[in-house]
Amino acid sequence: MAVIDLAFAIKHLPDVLKGVPATLAITIIAMICGLFSGLLISFIRIFKLPVLNQGAVLFISFIRGTPLIVQLYMFYYGLPVLFDYLNGRFGLQFNADNIHPLYIAFIAYTINTSAYQAEIMRGAIQSVDRGQMEAALSIGMTVPQALRRIIMPQAFRTALPDLGNTFIHLIKATSLAFAVKVMEILAISRTIANDGYRFLEMYLVAALLYWLLSWIFEIVFTKLEQKVSRYEKAQQSPVKRFYSVRQLKT
Partner 1 sequence: MNKDLNYWLDLFIKVLDKLPLTLFMMIVSLFFALVIAVIVAVIRIKHVRILSGLAALYLSFTRSTPLLVQIFLIYFGLPQLLLVFHIDINHWNRLIFVIAAFSLHTGSYLAEIMRAAYQAVGKEQLEAALSVGMSYPQAIRRIILPQAFVIALPNIGNQAIELLKDTSLAFTIGIIDIMGQVRIILGNNHGIGIFEVYVVISIVYWIICIFIELIINVMEGSVRKRRALLK
4: left (phi over 0), alpha (psi -120 to 50) or beta: beta
* Binding region for partner 1 (CB under 8 A) out of 64-72, 128-136, 142-150, 225-233: 64-72
Rounded alpha-carbon distances, angstroms, from residue 77 to 14, 41, 129, 155: 32, 26, 45, 37
Contact 87, 97 (CB under 8 A): no
Assess 4 for contact with partner 1 (CB under 8 A).
yes
Please report whether residue 220 would count as binding partner 1 according to CB under 8 A. Answer: no
Specify the stretch interacting with partner 1 by CB under 8 A; choose among 109-117, 133-141, 149-157, 192-200.
192-200
Question: Under the criterion CB under 8 A, does residue 173 sit at the interface with partner 1?
Answer: yes
Window 74-113: residues binding partner 1 (CB under 8 A)? 74, 77-78, 80-81, 85
Q: Is 21 or 78 the residue whose CB approaches partner 1 more closely? A: 78
Q: How remote is the C-alpha of 163 from its chain's centroid? A: 7
CB of 6 to partner 1, least distance (A): 13
Q: What is the largest CA-CA distance in the chain?
A: 82
Kindly state whether residue 7 participates in binding partner 1, applying the rule CB under 8 A.
Answer: no
Q: How many residues does the chain have?
A: 250
* 206 interacts with partner 1 by CB under 8 A: yes
Examine residue 50 and tell whether it contacts partner 1 (CB under 8 A): no
> Which of 66, 87, 138, 244 contacts partner 1 by CB under 8 A?
66
The alpha carbons of the chain give a radius of gyration, in whole angstroms, of 24
Secondary structure string (H, E, C) spanning 147-163: HHHHHHHHHHHHHHHHH
Distance CA 128, CA 158 (A): 9
Sites of contact with partner 1 (CB under 8 A)? 3-4, 61-62, 64-71, 73-74, 77-78, 80-81, 85, 168, 172-176, 186, 190, 193, 199-200, 203-204, 206-207, 210-211, 214-215
